[in-house]
Amino acid sequence: MKKFAIFLGLFFGTAGIAVAQSGDAEAGKEKSQVCAACHGPNGESPTDMYPHLAGQHQKYLLKQLKDFKLASETGGEEGRNNPIMMGQVASLSEEDMADLAAFYAAKDSPKGETPEDIIAKGEDLFRRGNPETNMPSCAGCHGPRGNGMGLAAFPDISGQHAAYTKSQLEMFRSGERANDPNGMMQGVTEKMTDEEIELLSKFLSGLY
């Protein structure tokens, strides 16, 4: 194992909405204390069951929080269904969510590792996809270094826990997670084999 380094916004009708969307990182720091048990005090999760949040795009983080809240309000029928997070966000206001997103987005992204024996295959799959099954390149939306696109709310997928990435890809493929814009990730993952999901998940952990 070794570290492996490779790899205008929306305007709102009122000033109040714009302020809420931008968030206050300092206020978010105070509000994040309850999140630290799972995600760490600075957004670097100590366990691979939960994702790193540090350095993630603010717009993406805000969308996920809103989707969890929508799920909590609709009994999981809409949004992103996750029992733990649905309970955590149920009482959060729009401002709370924006502040939390601002806090984590301001942190440095974590650096993971990629096993040496999967670097070549992982990079090829990430950059080219699989032409034989029409699986598209991950780099097309997430960029050559996996850093995503903030304005488009495409997440930074680099440096993430491999186990967490694997679980999310599997959930998109099964339809258990379905809060991706226009079903993009569901369309991609339905073309992926178990081996490809495993390979990409490990590769992305050391990509930054």
Q: Which domains does the chain have, with CATH numbers?
A: 15-105 (1.10.760.10), 116-205 (1.10.760.10)
Distances in Å between the alpha carbon of 48 and those of 11, 29, 66, 105, 173? 36, 22, 23, 20, 20
DSSP letter for 135, please: B
The pair of three-digit structure tokens given for residue 81, joined into one six-digit string: 């269904």
The pair of three-digit structure tokens given for residue 143, joined into one six-digit string: 């960029």
DSSP letter for 144, please: T
**Burial class of residue 59, CB neighbours in 10 A (0-12, 13-18, 19+):** buried
Confidence of residue 21 (pLDDT cuts 50, 70, 90): low
> pLDDT tens digit string along 120-171?
999 999 999 999 999 999 999 999 999 999 899 999 999 999 999 999 999 9
**Position 9 pLDDT exceeds 70:** no
**Position 3 pLDDT exceeds 70:** no
Instruction: Please say whether the beta carbons of 202 and 125 come within 8 A.
Output: no
The H or E element spanning position 16 is helix 15-22
> pLDDT tens digit string along 76-107?
999 999 999 999 999 999 999 999 999 999 99
The residue among 30, 12, 29 whose CA lies nearest residue 21 is 12
pLDDT value of residue 22? 87
Please give the average per-residue pLDDT across 15-29, as a whole number: 72
pLDDT value of residue 17? 40
pLDDT value of residue 48? 97
Q: Is the pTM of this model over 0.85?
A: yes
